[in-house]
Amino acid sequence: MSIIVNSTLEQVCLQENRAIISGPFGSNISSKYFVDTGIPVIRGNNLSLNFDKFYDEGFVFVTKEKADELKCYAYRDDLIFTAAGTIGQVGLIPQNSQYEEYVISNKQIRARIDTKKIDLLYAYYWYSSPWIKSLLIRSNKGSTVPLLTLSEVKDLPIVYPEDIQEQRNIVSIIEAISKKIEFNIQINDNLEQQAKLLYDYWFTQFDFPDDNGNPYCSSGGQMIWNDILKRNIPDGWKVESIISNSLSSIIKPGVEAFDTKLYLATADIKGTSLSTGTLIDYEGRESRANMQPIINSVWFAKMKNSTKHLYLNKEMYPIISNTILSTGFCGLQCSEKSFEYIASYIANPYFEIHKDMLAHGATQEAVNNDDLEGVHIIIPDDSVLQAYHETTQPIYAQISKNICENQELDKLRDWLLPMLMNGQATISD
């Protein structure tokens, strides 16, 4: 084991002018300067509280002239920290990024690492670690909006082996875990796409297998006009409200007393992928930590333009038993037979579009339960519902198993990071 060095972010950055900079003053990069194309602006939505490195999408743009005026460029291999808002977000612009240059927003800080001193990925993983995230949150100087100063970010500690090869060996272990997590996410993306295609075939085109195994609608199955949906649906099927129907029911706020559990806010979900959450106790929990997850429940984020879903079947019990959810989620209790159908309905773009149309609010647009009264769901024939359950249950079961595995891998990575980086464990161990 080589010598362990205790340093700061400023000391491991390039020793050059503007190696660490904060974003421009807010009024200099407000929405009035945004254009359709140009230099992309890095904002909080491009960074992560987990280990996702960088979300190279969802940008607003400024002109090249404006970017030159702002003097806050960021390039490939630059570290980006959120300094206002969601403290703890860290990003690393990858070598294969979509753009060659970016600018940071008024809420970001950019740091340029000296790779002769420290491996870039080592620095990224260190500053993305739960320990540093906790330190950043404790350093918050904001009252209503969490805030970090440039000097505080410059003084962020970093501990590393002096031998850069040893740093890379540590990174290789963490990267192996991260790649397995990413692989599971890719598998789940494919499985979710399979479920979406089946749902569309069965419940949008209505070509579910009829009694003879033929596609119902295409084979001349009886269809009737529905005044609510303004379209034909299979004869005998019904249309009901998503919050008042025969297949699911709204889950009300309220949690049972507990010692400690993981709290998942909406920010801890990306699509259907979970972070490790925040450990809380019953008495000290924030008011929003007040939704009890249960088996065979489907959850979605209430906020507009926020597609975040949780499908909690029996395979998700390890997470269900140890987790509290935010009131930013709406939960639907399903039967075992209706679970996959309700999950597929929530995953359908129609639902999110309709939800967003009903959202309202001054600061954060969102829906409440009353708003959802006008969102309708088709209630299929019981035999079709059973057949869909039997067809898609293995898909959703595997999705859940992969999510649970990723949770354990996240915990392993969080445990290994400080052990390896502080010299408490070595590669040979």
With respect to residue 428, please indicate whether it lies within any of the assigned structural domains. Answer: no
Confidence (pLDDT) at 429: 47
Whole-angstrom distance, CA of residue 314 vs CA of residue 301 = 21
* Cβ(328)–Cβ(345) below 8 Å: no
Q: Are residues 334 and 391 part of one domain?
A: yes
Taking the C-alpha atoms of residue 111 and residue 388, their distance in angstroms, rounded to an integer, is: 51
**How many other CB atoms are found less than 10 A from the CB of residue 320?**
19
Tell which residue, 240, 239, 238, 234, has the closest CA to residue 211: 234
Are 303 and 390 in a shared domain? yes
72 and 43 in contact (C-beta within 8 Å)? no
* Whether residues 28 and 136 fall in one domain: yes
Domain that holds residue 308: 184-411
pTM of the predicted model, to two decimals? 0.81
Same domain, 206 and 130: no
Residue 151, domain member (yes or no): no
Query: Where do we find the tokens 């927003």?
Result: 105
If asked whether residues 269 and 316 sit together in one domain, one would say yes
Evaluated on CA atoms 137, 141, 142, 143, the torsion sign reads positive
Chain CA centroid to CA 173, Å: 24
The residue written with tokens 């990224």 in the block is 124
**Which of 95, 87, 110, 94 is closest to 41 using CA atoms?**
110
Domain count, the chain: 2
| Residue 260's CATH number | 3.90.220.20
Q: Which helix (H) or strand (E) holds 108?
A: strand 108-111
Taking residue 111's Cβ as centre, other Cβ atoms within 10 Å add up to 23
* Residue 225: inside a domain: yes
22 within domain boundaries: yes
In this prediction, residue 89 carries a pLDDT of 87
Whole-number Å distance between alpha carbons of 417 and 174: 7
Q: What does each of the 429 residues of the chain score in pLDDT, given as a tens digit?
A: 578 889 999 999 999 999 999 999 878 888 889 999 999 999 988 988 777 789 899 899 999 999 999 999 999 999 999 988 788 889 999 999 999 999 999 999 999 999 999 999 999 999 988 788 777 777 666 556 678 889 999 999 999 999 999 999 999 999 999 899 999 999 999 999 999 999 999 999 999 999 999 999 999 999 999 999 999 999 999 999 998 899 999 999 999 999 999 999 888 888 788 876 788 999 999 999 999 999 999 999 999 988 999 999 999 999 999 999 999 999 999 999 999 999 999 999 889 999 999 999 877 899 998 899 989 999 999 999 999 999 999 999 999 999 999 989 988 888 888 778 776 656 554
User: Cα torsion at 401, 396, 188, 129 (round to 10°)?
Assistant: -40
Amino acid identity, position 416: L
253 and 142 in a single domain? The answer is no
82 with 195, same domain: the answer is no
Q: Please tell me whether residues 381 and 284 are part of one structural domain.
A: yes
Would you say how long the chain is, in residues?
Answer: 429
